């Protein structure tokens, strides 16, 4: 009897474990892209303009990986924003590529306007929600190293004034944790 | 083994005549130490039925204060003169968000809610002073704060505060309880 109790008590520390999930609700990169040139006279189909920005999510992701495993990331929001109207934007494509060129440039997200040409000009202020095209696993592989984000903006008609463009790129991460002592 | 069984049966026989059909309401206090609750002091009430007790405690886990409610089922309290017992204890509590002292700017704050489902041993009579040892699993929902300070200046990134849902097995609690 005594031996059984002693055995159970001795085994308790061996069974000690922690299991669960850790959630990082958002890691956000506020991005200032630059300006889209305006034109006082109507110009149809101006050339697309690309903006490239370096971002580094890797240090934050590695910190989560240190305490957890089975990590997954997702884009919680990716928006093109401006204090002016973004009605002139007909297409937006966002690419991602590691700065060390270890992987090829890949499509991260895209946006295509459904507003008829000219109608979007009535929009006051702008916030275009972009559709994410990359799966979680690939996204994690890319964001585990510093990357270059390239925003390619296509307009069907140039805006009448120069427009300041910003973007907000937010990533959410979740990871499982299993630690046995 | 037989000796133990005979002893147990003998003690139950001695105690049975004292079993109360309707017990008085008993009130007492408790003090214990454990994980994840920390140090706790509380009030215990046996609501007219000794096999059940309810307690509310003020807790402190070195980061901040919290609270804990406990509902205990002690079937061996039916034999009040038995100097030992086993019981089940369901607990729910919280620890308010707090920082490691002296590290409020460079470490995240931590607060959590938890539920414990314990089995325990009681040493001493239920309606007097007794010492409890409880062990079991805990489910913990933790929320950090000020996490940006841990990451530091990470290239202009804004980092939200992580949360965690965890099962921790085993956790424990030990301390005394006195009731009259």
Task: Using DSSP, state whether B68 is helix, strand or coil.
Answer: strand
ipTM > 0.85 for the complex: no
From the number of C-beta atoms within 10 Å of its C-beta (0-12, 13-18, 19+), residue A36 rates as buried
Q: Report the residue from B4, B158, B169 with minimal CB separation from A16.
A: B169
Cα–Cα distance between B53 and B69 in angstroms, integer?
11
Instruction: Give the model's pLDDT for residue A5.
Output: 56
Name residues of chain B where pLDDT drops below 70: 1-22, 152-155
Cα–Cα distance between A104 and B78 in angstroms, integer?
73
From the number of C-beta atoms within 10 Å of its C-beta (0-12, 13-18, 19+), residue A64 rates as buried
Q: Test B135 with A25 for CB contact under 8 angstroms.
A: no
From the number of C-beta atoms within 10 Å of its C-beta (0-12, 13-18, 19+), residue A41 rates as exposed
Determine the average pLDDT of the residues in A34-41. Answer: 85
Half-sphere exposure in the Cβ direction for B81 (13 Å, CA): 13
Q: Report the residue from A28, A55, A64 with minimal CB separation from B158.
A: A28
Contact in structure between B93 and B113 (CB atoms under 8 Å) = yes
Instruction: Give the model's pLDDT for residue A7.
Output: 52
CA proximity to A158, closest of A33, A34, A47:
A47
Cis amide linkage into residue B170, ω under 30° from 0: yes
Task: Using DSSP, state whether A92 is helix, strand or coil.
Answer: strand
Provide the shortest C-alpha distance from residue A173 to chain B (in Å).
9
Contact in structure between B107 and B100 (CB atoms under 8 Å) = yes
Instruction: Give the model's pLDDT for residue B90.
Output: 97
Instruction: Give the model's pLDDT for residue A120.
Output: 43
Residues of chain A contacting B140 with CB distance shorter than 8 Å: 20
Q: Test A12 with B135 for CB contact under 8 angstroms.
A: yes
Q: Which residue has the higher pLDDT, A121 or A2?
A: A2
Q: Are strands A163-180 and B109-123 parallel, antiparallel or unpaired?
A: unpaired
- Across-strand partners of B31? B41, B176
Instruction: Give the model's pLDDT for residue B3.
Output: 62
Helix or strand (DSSP H, E) at B93: strand B84-98
Tokens of A37: 């040139």
- Between chain A and chain B, the number of residue pairs with CB atoms below 8 A apart is 71
End-to-end CA distance of chain A: 27
Contact in structure between A151 and A107 (CB atoms under 8 Å) = no
Q: Which residue has the higher pLDDT, B36 or A119?
A: B36
Q: Chain B interface residues facing chain A, Cβ-Cβ under 8 Å?
A: 1, 4, 135, 140, 150-151, 154-170
Cα–Cα distance between B95 and B165 in angstroms, integer?
15
Instruction: Give the model's pLDDT for residue A123.
Output: 47
Query: Could you read off the pLDDT of A131-152 as tens digits, one per residue?
Result: 999 999 999 999 999 999 999 9
Helix (DSSP H) and strand (DSSP E) numbers for chain A = 3, 9
Q: Which residue has the higher pLDDT, A64 or B133?
A: B133
Contact in structure between A8 and B151 (CB atoms under 8 Å) = no
- Across-strand partners of B53? B72
């Amino acid at each position: 009897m005594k031996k059984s109790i002693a055995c159970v008590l001795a085994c308790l520390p061996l069974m000690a474990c922690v299991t669960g999930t850790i959630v990082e609700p958002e890691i956000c990169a506020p991005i200032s892209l630059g300006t889209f040139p305006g034109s006082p006279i109507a110009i149809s189909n101006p050339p697309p303009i690309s903006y490239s920005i370096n971002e580094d999510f890797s240090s934050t992701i590695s910190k989560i990986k240190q305490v957890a495993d089975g990590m997954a990331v997702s884009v919680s929001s990716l928006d093109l924003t401006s204090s002016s109207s973004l009605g002139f934007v007909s297409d937006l494509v966002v690419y991602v590529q590691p700065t060390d060129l270890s992987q090829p440039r890949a499509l991260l997200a895209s946006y295509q306007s459904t507003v008829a040409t000219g109608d979007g000009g009535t929009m006051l202020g702008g916030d275009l929600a972009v559709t994410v095209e990359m799966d979680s696993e690939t996204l994690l592989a890319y964001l585990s190293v510093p990357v270059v984000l390239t925003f390619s903006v296509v307009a069907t008609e140039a805006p009448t004034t120069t427009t300041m463009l910003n973007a907000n790129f937010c990533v959410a991460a979740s990871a499982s944790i299993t630690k046995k002592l | 083994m037989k000796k133990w069984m005979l002893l147990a049966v003998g003690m139950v026989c001695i105690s049975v005549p004292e079993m109360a059909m309707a017990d008085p309401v008993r009130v007492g206090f408790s003090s214990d130490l454990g994980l994840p609750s920390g140090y706790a002091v509380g009030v215990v009430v046996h609501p007219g039925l000794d096999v059940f007790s309810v307690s509310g405690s003020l807790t402190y886990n070195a980061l901040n204060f919290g609270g804990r409610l406990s509902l205990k089922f002690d079937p061996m309290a039916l034999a009040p003169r038995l100097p030992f017992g086993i019981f089940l204890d369901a607990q729910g509590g919280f620890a308010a968000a707090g920082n490691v002292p002296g590290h409020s700017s460079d470490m995240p704050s931590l607060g959590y809610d938890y539920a414990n489902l314990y089995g325990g041993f009681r040493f001493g009579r239920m309606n007097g002073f007794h010492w409890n040892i409880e062990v079991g699993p805990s489910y913990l929902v933790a929320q950090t704060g000020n996490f940006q300070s841990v990451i530091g200046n990470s290239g202009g990134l804004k980092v939200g505060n992580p949360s965690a849902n965890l099962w921790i097995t085993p956790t424990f609690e030990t301390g005394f309880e006195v009731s009259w």
